Amino acid sequence: MRINEIFYSLQGEGHYCGVPAVFVRTSGCNLRCSFCDTQHETYTEMTETEIVEAVCQYPARHVVITGGEPMLQITPSLLAALHARGCYVQIETNGTIPLPDDCQVDWVTCSPKHSPVRLDHIDELKVVYQGQDMSQYDIYEAKEYRLQPLDTQSEAHNRDILSRTIDYCLAHPKWKLSLQTHKMIGVR
């Protein structure tokens, strides 16, 4: 598999915010979002055994497979090997590539972009908000709905978007505010 990086930190966003987790960032994405701030292009070719060993050198067993788009590369055998070592596996996906039936993922965080979502099951729907029409997300069923202000890299603009995100959550309480807390506390 093409792996951009494996690192240990706190999950900064969403349902598992604050949970110590090992992040496996796969390289490559099938979308090209204008606001993408993830460096995922460079990679090291790793076997599944090497990935599992790299993950298990850390004390936590919460694993976040992220990207890029992890669904381009994820395999049932990698998931089985992680589960065999006691790992709980969360994926962060744009949702455009269906999860095969034999892929046992414990928690699916889907962040829809500008392309249709093709997942049968979503645990957590995480929408990056910049004031767009939210009715487009009414079709999605999830256990939790999270609204996360877009990071524009401009402090003034970010303040405005945060304020609008809070207003939206207050008016539509199905949505919970999601913040990128790792950026606030200065961890990866």
By CB under 6 A, is residue 64 in contact with ligand SF4?
no
Binding mask 121-160 for ligand SF4 (x = CB under 6 A): ----------------------------------------
| C-beta of 113 vs 126, nearer to ligand SF4 | 113
Burial of 122-155, coded b for 16+ CB within 10 Å and e otherwise, reads: bbbbbbbbeeeeeeebeeeebebbbbbbbbeeee
Return the half-sphere exposure (C-beta side, CA atoms, 13 A cut-off) of residue 171: 7
Q: What is the DSSP letter of 53?
A: H
Indicate which single residue of 4, 26, 90, 94 sits in contact with ligand SF4 (rule: CB under 6 A): 94
By CB under 6 A, is residue 104 in contact with ligand SF4?
no
Give me the helices (H) in 35-104, please: 48-56, 76-84
Indicate which single residue of 7, 18, 31, 187 sits in contact with ligand SF4 (rule: CB under 6 A): 31
**Please, which residues have CB within 8 angstroms of residue 172's CB and are 6 or more apart in sequence?**
134
The token pair that represents 30 in the structure block: 């099938």
Closest approach, Cβ 148 to ligand SF4, in A, equals: 12
By CB under 6 A, is residue 69 in contact with ligand SF4?
yes
| C-beta of 110 vs 169, nearer to ligand SF4 | 110
Q: Which residues bind ligand SF4 (CB under 6 A)?
A: 29, 31-33, 36, 38, 67-69, 94, 113
